[in-house]
């Protein structure tokens, strides 16, 4: 599914990722953990195709297709979804309109028919109920005036509606209280399937109590410095990132 090999990325002339490699097969959830400044967000932005993140060498592919050759929207149409650490506000565009526009843009890019209004609304009602989102909220401009927790829930709602192949969750737990964390995690777990892959980027182990990873990787100094099973996350909780940060330096 997702294959990243020896990836070097510079931002504004400074190298942030220094030879990162990662393999996430379909059906698996991998967590990438690391200290602040390790390059976690750089990894998610680079995979999603943000401008200004310059790949100087290495490769990244999804289902064998070269991600780095595609614009951000083309990657989205191939099924890559990034749940943002800080979701953006889109004034004047109702959430449902936004999601429907996005869904149809993706379907069009894949050569599929647009989804009709009745089918779309039915799906939206079902998914909103699962995430305990008031339907009226979906008529409001996307994320405008939403609390931090509401924004994160809306990210997961978008994810459920767009039904992507590969999910990247960037610090999805930040700013969430325990109840919201549980709802969001249930939403994510509902999307686990043998066809989907997930990359969960987080600073804290807490999120992994709810979204159980198959593999855990430690990112420090721009590379993966350790990989292991779920127990690695618990170990990190005890010992901290210091020894890995030193190893990377």
Which residues of the shown chain bind another protein in the complex (CB under 8 A)?
Answer: 45, 48-52, 71-73, 75-77, 81-82, 84, 87-88, 90-93, 98-99, 101-103, 105-106, 109, 141, 158, 162
Closer CB to another protein, 50 or 206, in the complex: 50
Shortest spacing between CB 56 and another protein, in angstroms? 18
Closer CB to another protein, 10 or 226, in the complex: 10
Helix (H, G, I), strand (E, B) or coil at 191: coil
Closer CB to another protein, 75 or 196, in the complex: 75
Separation CA 169–CA 181 (nearest Å): 13
Closer CB to another protein, 85 or 185, in the complex: 85
- Nearby residues of 62 by Cβ (< 8 Å), 6 or more positions away: 1, 2, 3, 75, 78, 79, 80, 165, 166
Closer CB to another protein, 162 or 234, in the complex: 162
Shortest spacing between CB 106 and another protein, in angstroms? 4
- For residue 81, report the phi and psi dihedrals to the nearest 5 degrees: -125, 130
Place of tokens 């943000």: 50
Shortest spacing between CB 85 and another protein, in angstroms? 11
Place of tokens 């998610």: 44
From the list 190, 182, 181, 141, the residue with the least C-alpha distance to 161 is 190
Shortest spacing between CB 73 and another protein, in angstroms? 5
From the list 158, 193, 164, the residue with the least C-alpha distance to 29 is 193
Measured in whole angstroms, how far is the alpha carbon of residue 126 from the centre of its chain?
Answer: 22
Shortest spacing between CB 172 and another protein, in angstroms? 15
Shortest spacing between CB 97 and another protein, in angstroms? 9
- Residue 224 and residue 217 in contact, taking contact as beta carbons nearer than 8 Å: yes
CA angle 98, 99, 100 (to 5 degrees): 95
Closer CB to another protein, 97 or 227, in the complex: 97
Closer CB to another protein, 79 or 213, in the complex: 79
Shortest spacing between CB 76 and another protein, in angstroms? 4
Read off the tokens for 10.
């510079």
Q: What are the angstrom distances between the C-alpha of 64 and each of 1, 113, 130?
A: 7, 25, 33
CA angle 39, 43, 49 (to 5 degrees): 140
């Amino acid at each position: 599914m997702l294959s990243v090999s020896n990836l070097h990325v510079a931002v504004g002339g400074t190298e942030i990722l220094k030879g990162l490699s990662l393999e996430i097969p379909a059906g698996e959830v991998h967590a990438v953990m690391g200290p602040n400044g390790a390059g976690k967000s750089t990894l998610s932005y680079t995979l999603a195709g943000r401008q200004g993140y310059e790949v100087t060498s290495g490769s990244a592919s999804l289902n064998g297709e070269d991600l780095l050759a595609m614009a951000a929207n083309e990657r989205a149409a191939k099924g890559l979804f990034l749940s943002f650490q800080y979701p953006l506000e889109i004034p004047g565009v109702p959430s449902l309109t936004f999601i429907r526009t996005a869904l149809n843009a993706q379907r069009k890019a894949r050569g599929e028919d647009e989804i009709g209004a009745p089918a779309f609304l039915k799906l939206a009602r079902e998914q909103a109920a699962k995430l305990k989102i008031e339907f009226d909220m979906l008529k409001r401009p996307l994320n405008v005036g939403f609390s931090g927790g509401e924004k994160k829930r809306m990210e997961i709602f978008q994810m459920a509606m767009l039904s992507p192949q590969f999910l990247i969750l960037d610090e999805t737990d930040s700013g969430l209280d325990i109840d919201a964390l549980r709802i969001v995690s249930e939403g994510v777990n509902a999307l686990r399937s043998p066809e989907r892959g997930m990359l969960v980027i987080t600073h804290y182990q807490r999120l992994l109590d709810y979204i159980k990873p198959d593999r855990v990787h430690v990112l420090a100094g721009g590379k993966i410095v350790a990989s292991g099973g779920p127990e690695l996350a618990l170990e990190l909780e005890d010992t901290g990132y210091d020894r890995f940060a030193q190893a990377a330096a």
